[in-house]
Structure formats: C-alpha cells, structure tokens
Chains A and B, each alone.
Chain A
Amino acid sequence: AQSVTQLDSQVPVFEEAPVELRCNYSSSVSVYLFWYVQYPNQGLQLLLKYLSGSTLVKGINGFEAEFNKSQTSFHLRKPSVHISDTAEYFCAVTTPHGSSNTGKLIFGQGTTLQVKP
C-alpha cells in the first residue's frame, strides 16, 4: 500500500521569499507523483506531475519539484512567492494501472502556505 506524508501542516513565508513544501511517500512499487493546489472553496488544480523521465519537474505558476527515489521524496519549491500563492497544497501518489491501486490517488494531509506581505 502507498502512503504520503506532508511534513508541515502550515508554512508561513514572506512575499518574494523562496519556499519549499515537503512531501515523502512510501511505496513498494513504482509511483506517479503529483502536486495539487486548492484555493478556498474550490476544487484542486494540478500544479505538476512526475510520471517518468527527468526527475526535475516544472509546473505552472513558477513551481517545480524534484523526484528523489532514494529519499522517497517529492518536495515542491518556488524561488519567489506571491500573495496569490496563499492556498492549500496537496501531494499525491498513485501507481500505474494494472497494480492494485488502479489509478486511485493517495493524498497527503495538505500544507497551508501563508504568504505574508
């Protein structure tokens, strides 16, 4: 079975500062990894994903993440945040079709990014 741990429930940061949101996963098989952002009272928007290939993945809104298989991590980074980045961020994992998960996403607990002026 897979699991996802987001180590920080809240991350306060000042505007224009860099930020890293941490995500670790556990799985005995190969995985796909995702980061989603949720603004208040809205659904989830895909920020970026790792399916295969290059371990450094670039997403929308200036975010990027690096897949580290040895450390089973998929941390999300942005070099300079804006007030508008204030939201809830979810890391998620799934396994390719054909395995027991059949496409189910396993979500972390979420990290609230609070960008202060």
Chain B
Amino acid sequence: GAVVSQHPSRVICKSGTSVKIECRSLDFQATTMFWYRQFPKQSLMLMATSNEGSKATYEQGVEKDKFLINHASLTLSTLTVTSAHPEDSSFYICSAELPLAGVGETQYFGPGTRLLVL
C-alpha cells in the first residue's frame, strides 16, 4: 500500500515551453501533497504544499507564477513549469501524505521526474 506515481519519469523540452508533471496516490486519498526539487548530490528542497480544493502554499523564494500547482482531486496533484529555462532543469519529486488517525502522518514519495530544458 501507499504507492505514489509520477508521470513522466523523464522529460526533455525546449527553452520557453511549459511542462506538466503529474503526481498520483494510487491506493489512498491524499488531502495534502508536497512538491520538492532536488539538485545533484543535494537534499530535497520543499517547493510547495498542495492541498486538495485550495490554493497551494509556496515556500519562500519559489515563484508561484512559474511553478503552477493544481490539486484537483484527492489522488492527483500537478506541477506545471511554465516558460521553462535551462536553470529549471532538475529532479522534481512529489509526496503524498497518508494520515493515520491518532498516530501521525507519513509522506510517501513518487519516483521523481527528471526535467532537462535545452
């Protein structure tokens, strides 16, 4: 249980185009999903918190107009990188939160999406 998928796994695009990345919780409903960015040999950097049915909460320094997040259902959140540039090339990872009543919450991670902007 607690499986999270991402699509696509890899994407190469031209500078100036937009790219959409999907994050799905396959066997549970996730009110909250998170989007991270990871540079080579570094830790994960939280970009934003995505809540179903409401606007995403962005971390300081993350451009909300460039990284559009939509959490339209309890199993799907999307991240759209608009007008992508080479500096947006990175590994993007999503996670979905599985709440356990009375115990605590745990995040389960997707396999990641490698974005290369030429």
Contact = CB atoms under 8 A, between A and B. Distances in A.
Interface in A32-80: 32, 34, 36, 41-46, 49, 51-52
Main secondary structure of the interface of B (DSSP, over half): strand
A104 B43 contact: no
B93 A43 contact: yes
Contact of A103 (B42, B97, B103): B97
A101 B26 CA distance: 26
A25 interface: no
Contacts of B44: 44, 90, 105, 107
Contact of A45 (B46, B100, B105, B109): B109
Interface residues of A, number: 24
Interface in B103-117: 103-112, 114
B75 interface: no
A104 B109 contact: no
A2 interface: no
Interface in A2-55: 32, 34, 36, 41-46, 49, 51-52
Interface of B: 4, 6, 32, 34, 42-44, 46, 49, 91, 93, 95, 97, 99-100, 103-112, 114
